[in-house]
Amino acid sequence: MKNFTAFKNGILSLVVLGLIFTSCSSNDEATETENPLEDTLEVQRSAEIDQVDNVIGDIIIEVYEDEESGIEDRNPQARDIPECVTITVVAQQGYRQVTIDFGSEGCIVRGHLLKGQIVFDYTRDSEAQQIMINYNLVNFYFDAKNVIGSRSILKELSNENGNPQFTHDLSITVIWSNGVQASREGTKIREWVEGFGSGIFSDNVFEISGDWTATFVNGNTHTYEVLTPLRREVICAYFVSGSFDVQRTNFGGVFDYGLGECDNQAIFTFNNGQEIEITLN
């Protein structure tokens, strides 16, 4: 089963970016912020929302693809999902409801402690070009953060480029254990551009596009817009190319992963034109 983890390694980029915003006191854009510490924390929290988005989407797509593959043995290990996760399928003609239960004590999945349930359903139609997967989060916690949302993923069997595509609705609210709260609204589109149907995991390539906004209870907002699709080659730990625009209160800029090399180097260009080289962890 192929994993859809395109954004996982890009999360650290946003955290590094937040630290740069805080430390570059000589930069005109950075010094305009009234509370650099708060700015850094909010960037980090926005990166944590990205983690939530990615892992939830990955799990749903993986379980959905496995359910629709016709494989008789749907052992969680076959899905690359640990045995502590219970998956229950209610099957009716033309309809499926799937409950992914991580338990009240939680289960470690891809390095994160997940609690509660993800429940999704969809209508089966072998001739449909689009399938809407609707899901609810039930008493769901992600690394001690309460995540609230009823969302959807639209699967297209073939987009205008002839590739499979998944469009994610990003409407969720995340509440941290200290009471801090933020909401995410927007859309991420995952296009499967290479490796589909080959049966070989290592040749998969995805391109990510979309735009989204994070809003905090203090009124601060962060907007993100992919300018050039973020290219994820699964054999590389980093995005190899692509860029996105980051705008926040008082400053912003463009984060660029380069032109195709598999390396840990990126460049952030502030709105005033200043460029900073970034080494990703």
pLDDT band at 6 (very low <50, low <70, confident <90, very high): very low
Q: Is the dihedral of CA 108, 109, 112, 114 positive or negative?
A: negative
| Residue 102 within a domain | yes
pLDDT digits 0-9 by tens, 246-255: 888 777 888 8
What pLDDT score was predicted for residue 90? Answer: 95
pLDDT band at 166 (very low <50, low <70, confident <90, very high): very high
Reply yes or no on whether the pLDDT at 139 is more than 60. Answer: yes
| C-alpha to C-alpha distances, 229 to 129, 144, 165, 191, 209, nearest whole angstrom | 23, 32, 13, 10, 5
| C-alpha to C-alpha distances, 263 to 20, 206, 233, 275, nearest whole angstrom | 20, 17, 12, 18
| Residue 166 within a domain | yes
pLDDT digits 0-9 by tens, 233-244: 877 767 889 998
**Rounded Cα–Cα distance for residues 254 and 233 (Å):** 22
pLDDT digits 0-9 by tens, 9-36: 444 444 444 434 443 433 443 344 444 3
What pLDDT score was predicted for residue 47? Answer: 67
**Rounded Cα–Cα distance for residues 238 and 12 (Å):** 10
Reply yes or no on whether the pLDDT at 168 is more than 80. Answer: yes
What pLDDT score was predicted for residue 111? Answer: 76
| Residue 167 within a domain | yes
What pLDDT score was predicted for residue 29? Answer: 38
Contacts of 75 (CB under 8 A, 6+ apart): none
| Residue 235 within a domain | yes
pLDDT digits 0-9 by tens, 187-246: 999 898 987 766 555 677 889 899 999 898 888 888 989 999 988 887 776 788 999 898
| Residue 1 within a domain | no
Query: Which segments within the chain are labelled E, that is strand?
Result: 86-92, 95-109, 112-123, 130-142, 145-148, 150-156, 165-169, 172-175, 181-194, 205-216, 221-233, 241-248, 251-259, 265-270, 275-279
pTM of the model: 0.73
Q: What are phi and psi of 74, to 5 degrees?
A: -105, 45
**Rounded Cα–Cα distance for residues 82 and 276 (Å):** 41
Reply yes or no on whether the pLDDT at 275 is more than 50. Answer: yes
What pLDDT score was predicted for residue 229? Answer: 93
| Residue 109 within a domain | yes
Give me the domain span that covers residue 97.
8-279
| Residue 130 within a domain | yes
The number of distinct structural domains making up the chain is: 1
| Residue 74 within a domain | yes
pLDDT digits 0-9 by tens, 42-91: 666 776 787 788 778 878 887 887 888 765 444 444 456 788 999 999 99
Reply yes or no on whether the pLDDT at 107 is more than 70. Answer: yes
